[in-house]
Amino acid sequence: MIVVTGANGQLGRQVIAHLLSKVKPSEIIAAVRTPAKASDLAALGCRYVKQIIQSLTP
């Protein structure tokens, strides 16, 4: 299982495109901020989840 954060972004989409040439789409989870923009990722066979990061500092 591989999780790609920021999957809706330009770099995240490039990472997913590369991964799809190496692993099955079912092995990729796309973490996205806006699930409504992830339908194309789902069409490729990737699962997606809503990414929530509030703060990285304590």
Tokens for 16?
């997913």
Q: Indicate the residue type of 22.
A: K
50: left (phi over 0), alpha (psi -120 to 50) or beta: beta
Name which of 53, 56, 2 is nearest 27 in CA terms. 2
For the range 48-57, what are the long-range contacts, defined as Cβ-Cβ under 8 Å and sequence gap of 24 or more? Answer: 48/7, 51/5, 51/6
Tens-place pLDDT, residues 4-55: 999 999 999 999 999 999 999 999 999 999 999 999 999 999 999 999 877 7
Q: Is the pTM of this model over 0.75?
A: yes
